[in-house]
Structure 1
Amino acid sequence: MSSYFEERAPCCGSHFWILLSMCWASVLFAAITSGLALGLLSFSQVDLEVFVKAGQPKIQKNAAKIMSIAKNEHLLLCTLLIAKSMALEGVSVFMEKMFPEWLSVLLAATILATIAEIIPLALCSRYGLSVGATLSPFVRVLMMVFFPIAYPLSKAGKGGELSLHETTIIAGALDLTQKTAKDAMTPISETFSLDINSKLDMHTMGLIMSKGHSRIPVYSGKQTNVVGIILVKNLIFCHPEDETPIKYMTIRRVPRVGEDWPLYDILNQFKNGQSHMAVVLKCGENIRTVATHTESKTPGHCSSVELGDYIRISTDASNWHSQETEYYSATLKSIMHREGDSDLLQRRSEQPDASSSFENLESLPTADEEVIGIITLEDVMEELLQEDILDETDQYVDVHQK
């Protein structure tokens, strides 16, 4: 039998016609596998699910047949490539037994390029769904026949793929360009904040500790009138029995951003280090500024608002600008005198006094600037990572809520 294939077959003999039939069968087999590789692998699982749920009846039927086969893309691809390689090799062998070497190479290259590549790809690029559904039983047989070889190959090289966590972060980074402050903010009604006229007594200090926040918004009158933020670490000198009013404490500017600001621009501003928290305002004329030009102050309202006998806050409707972001109070001066921190007091004394510094405090929202939420650096990073970031306090709360 081996000599039957080793000798060159004479033209028009029985041996010649057998080899010619096997050659054309191999060409046809290579054409089918080449077309199926394009027809079956050009549709993702999402595409097939859409076809099944929303396509026309015929398309739904064809997509349902293909879905189970195309579920394991690597196994399907390896199966079709192995089958195609065997068919191409068979064509070369059979051609060599029928024709001279130079003619067999020329015929094999021409026939394979035309019949096994160009024509199948042209047909399956347009009718891939129908062809794949029609030949799905044939593909199942191939997958069973070549499974011992195709399965190990389909599992090779898995270490080079991106993990789910990595792809999630990449997707979050791409989606971040389309998301705005409104998508990541915490609504003002759900925000923990303190009235500027409240006192740091035992109840308030305990409430601050239970919330676990590092920055707390300060409002005047109503919660939407956010005038600044206090850093919890600055309250370390306060004694609850003194019941120190919050308006005597160090208050920092709170930047204001529009609800339509892109999260990428907000992230760039947070990286400057001036603040890791910002107030989100409903879109209005006074806040429609480009985030990348926030170094210049935008002219706004120059009136002022009286907040009791101690503080007078300017309502300049500027956006994200702050050359002096921290404001020093008379009460903290006395505390540092008592603690003997003369160096820190000397550095603080170079800043304006308490009354003048409070005049420069970040503005209250004007009549057309409605505060709708608070956004922090953590909120932006959660949108980037596509998952919640839990700190020690979050973990503590979650455990006790179970």
Structure 2
Amino acid sequence: MAMFINCTELEEGVLCNGTLYTIPEARLTFHDNMFWVYLAIYVALVLTAGLMSGLTMGLLSLDMMTLKILKDGGTTREQKYARRILPIVKRHHLLLVTLLLANAAAVEAMPIFLDRISDPVIAICVSVTAVLIFGEVVPQALCTRFGLAIGSTLAPLVYILMGLSFIVSWPLSKLLDCLLGSNHSTFFRRAQLKVLVDLHGPGDGSGDEEHLTTDEVLMIKGALDLKGKSAKDAMVNIDNVFMISSNACMDHNTMTQILFHGHSRIPVYEESRSQIKAVLLMKTLIKLDPDDAVPVSSLLLDPQYFRPVIFIDDVKPLHDLINLFQTGKGHLAVVQKSHQGRQLRGLQDNTDDVTPLLGESQDDPQHDSPQQVGEVVGIITLEDVLEELLQEEIMDETDETQIRQRIQLAKAMAHKKSLLKRSQSHPEESRGQIQAGQSLAGHSSEHLNVDVAVAASQRSDDAPLLGSTEVLA
């Protein structure tokens, strides 16, 4: 049985026995003019996708905190770039949706133009290679390295893309703001800042980076640690404080002791060492004659010779103490044990790790009292606070002299002990050497003047430089 097929060629295709068949378009070759048009469009789409991918990586990798730092503290060029980028990056989700939308449109349009100029196998190979190398790897590598400069240069283009896609990108960005929040800035806590400072410390000397010196690192870390340190961490124990009694006189013996210790301010106590009544200023005593033996109690009647005592709680933070010393009330404070209520409040204050370091002082009449309300446990001076800030000991001429004297006395005592040990095994041979050792120790003790008894009683490697004053009692 024969079958007849009747086909008619139409504009839409070929109509055969009532069925319309579409004739596929012939692939374009490089001899056709449209081949180069399609190829140019495809290359433009690859470059557009790569540009959007690079901008997404470069701009969104710039943190708000980093841009603010560069805006105020960067080089002239960095400040210029940061000022242009900052308004764009503030709209984090709007920027994200805009760049991803433009990237997706370019990537999805590539196959439409590539299919007309190549077969499917070649189209897949070329598309994967072009998108991977020129649309992802190279743009992201460049924008990661030079994101600030590229983002600043292409900022006008980003604004144009935001305007073109505003109808779609703005609702999506607001939805992301509601779900994820709009604040994406990084906040460094004190522990993180200390690690950051360490990473910017002394380097290996290579490159043009301006590394921090060791002293700068210690000072910055010391300033960050002041929030968690209180007066009891830096104070001098009351047993190691040199002070004089209000019943003493400014005679030769007392002035010799004052000269030996070399302090600019000396506490004055009444009856017991825990009852400190005033702080004498040594520079005001220069004109006093030791032969007059002026009573200390009479000096406390003249405000030019003394300063009132500043009593602070042992839980008072050191940065608040610096603010107190800056007011001019004095550079020496007496530390007393805090009441339980104030101590709990101080501990709660120390746990606040988000409070800025340069905040307002929390001084109040209950926290810093002009009168003693608790047990005195020590004193603290401005030098003690600065040592905590610098993370190093501050040595003056008096400290160096006392150290040499203590070393001399320690050597004499060690020599005497070695002679005593030898005398136990050879009593007859060592008798003369023992007498010589005792003479050497006695000579060293006389050289130490008034502080020998204190230094000999302590005999420890970590003996404080401020000698005890049991000899004054």
Q: TM-score, normalised by structure 1?
A: 0.46
Q: Tell me which of the two structures has the higher relative contact order, counting C-alpha pairs closer than 8 angstroms and 6 or more residues apart.
A: 1
TM-score, L = length of structure 2 = 0.39
